[in-house]
Amino acid sequence: MIPENRANPLPLILWLLVQLGALALSAGQVSLAYQFPEPAERLALHVMVLIQIAISALLFPALFKSPTADIVTIACALPFTQLAGFLALEDQSHMLLAMAYVATWMIGLSIWRVALTTPRARMIGVAAATAFALGGPLLWYLRAEFATKSDAANFSQIGVWGPVMGSASVLSDSHLLRPWLVTGVTIASGLLLLICRRILAPSSPQLVHVVHTRGIV
């Protein structure tokens, strides 16, 4: 058992291994879906960003333990994003956009981690972040499956269907601003939670003692 005053390296190790696995899948030209583009490494950057967004949503309470851990976690993601970009033969601007998008998403999650102080609140945060990250692609797929031809023009709006779809929009068109609203909402909601916690928190240790002894919470 790792003492509380020592950092637990396991989440960071898992974070690195998952990204290494995503890179290995693309390098091994593994097709992840029916009619996947050939060669498979053409979408290496897309696959890497998707994995980084999804796994960071699942692990953010463990990954973002402190400001130092936040910096290390984000810094460890950037080289993998760049390697995936090199594998996909993407230009430097697309790699920088992908790195910036992932970094802003994870900054939002790190703020959530500070704002959510109890284990129960953090588990709710994990569920919300995961649903936000992966719910968009699921809803988009269902819409694509059952939409009529007249709805086809609306598919250019996929940038607002969560961070995964937002990253795909950014990589396809660097001039789109809608996808950045998704990461902006993540950061803004985290700041709002943090402000609410500071406002609603008892202002002194004596008040905390009174609240607990009287059974108010």
pLDDT digits (tens, 9 = 90+) for 22-68: 888 878 776 666 656 666 677 788 889 989 999 999 998 999 988 89
With cut-offs at 50, 70 and 90, classify the pLDDT of residue 214: very low
CA dist 156 to 9, 89, 94, 132, 140, Å? 41, 24, 19, 19, 11
Q: Which pLDDT does position 204 carry in this prediction?
A: 43
Q: Which pLDDT does position 110 carry in this prediction?
A: 93
Residue 217 has pLDDT above 90, yes or no: no
Sort 92 into a burial class: Cβ within 10 Å, 0-12 / 13-18 / 19+: exposed
Residue type, 217: V
Over residues 193-201, mean pLDDT:
82
Over residues 184-200, mean pLDDT:
86
With cut-offs at 50, 70 and 90, classify the pLDDT of residue 140: low
Range of 29-33, 34-38, 87-91, 203-207 with top mean pLDDT: 87-91
Q: Which pLDDT does position 76 carry in this prediction?
A: 92
Each residue's pLDDT tens digit, 100-129: 999 999 999 999 999 898 889 899 999 999
195: tokens are 């402000």
Longest dimension (CA), the chain: 66
The percent of residues in the chain predicted with pLDDT above 70, rounded, is: 72
217: tokens are 């919470």
Mean pLDDT of the chain: 78
113 closest CA partner among 64, 173, 76, 52: 64
Over residues 172-197, mean pLDDT:
82
